[in-house]
Amino acid sequence: MANNLINAGFHVVVHSRSQGPVTELVAMGATQADYPGEVAALADVVCTCLPDAEASETVYLASNGLVAAARPTNLFIETSTIAPSLARRVAADAQASGAGYVDAPVSGGVEGAEKATLTIMAGGETSDVERAKPVLQAMGANIHHVGGVGQGSVVKLINQLLVAVHTQAACEAMLLGIKAGADPAQLLDVLSSSWGTSAMLGRTGPLVISGDYGSRAPMRLIAKDIALVSELASETGLSLPLVERATAAIDDAMKRGLAESDIAALASLYSL
């Protein structure tokens, strides 16, 4: 995503706990910052993409974080998947400093990030979302303003509900077909033009066939996201049986040491 911002002509300031990507981006022309607050001091528009709520809260609200260094010219764009309540809390603190805030989580995986074809769900004031658009359009192909702050996170969590449930369904469907004697490649080809198809079936099917799951979409991230989905469901008073079933399968996968494996490795639970 930072690479695409550089390619779009933006002057990019970078900071990460992992030095490798920073070194790589600096070699491409980016400027390195040593802590989050320095990013806010050097850049008017600040994008964050972080692995979990704890990291997001720290980067924004710690003493050396973004909000502490916020200026009225700053616009913060949070692309991480976090709880809507956290997005609203961080936004309130940022806005108290005069800065703007948009929660703009993304979907499309590593491939979408690399090709700048991400779908981006933006929640925030119209003026802030409009200001964010040139930056978002450098990283994504489908930009949607879905409401006020926090609504971007709501829509992303609905997406993650479907990712989790559809991935589990795709794993079970492929395994059942294979065990029942269907040709795996033909099965996937037939399903791709049938009612039962889905984006996650198209992604998961080839991985189940090969048995080489890799780690492009790590299980630990969908585990974090499905927990946030359950939290949101609880807040709204909904009981979601499919979410509960998917959560149990993902928890099982985590206990079996699959945290760094791709979410398609749910298929391996049925043969371990």
Residues annotated as part of the active site? 156
Between the two ends of the chain, the Cα-to-Cα distance in Å is: 36
CB atoms < 10 A from the CB of 245, how many? 13
CB atoms < 10 A from the CB of 259, how many? 15
In SS3 terms, the chain reads as CHHHHHHCCCCCEECCCCHHHHHHHHHCCCEECCCHHHHHHHCCEEEECCCCHHHHHHHHHCCCCCCCCCCCCCEEEECCCCCHHHHHHHHHHHHHCCCEEEECCEECHHHHHHHCCEEEEEECCHHHHHHHHHHHHCCEEEEEEEECCCHHHHHHHHHHHHHHHHHHHHHHHHHHHHHCCCCHHHHHHHHCCCCCCCHHHHHHHHHHHHCCCCCCCEHHHHHHHHHHHHHHHHHHCCCCHHHHHHHHHHHHHHHCCCCCCEHHHHHHHHCC
CA–CA gap between residue 34 and residue 41 (Å, rounded): 11
CA-based nearest residue to 224, from 156, 272, 169, 171: 156
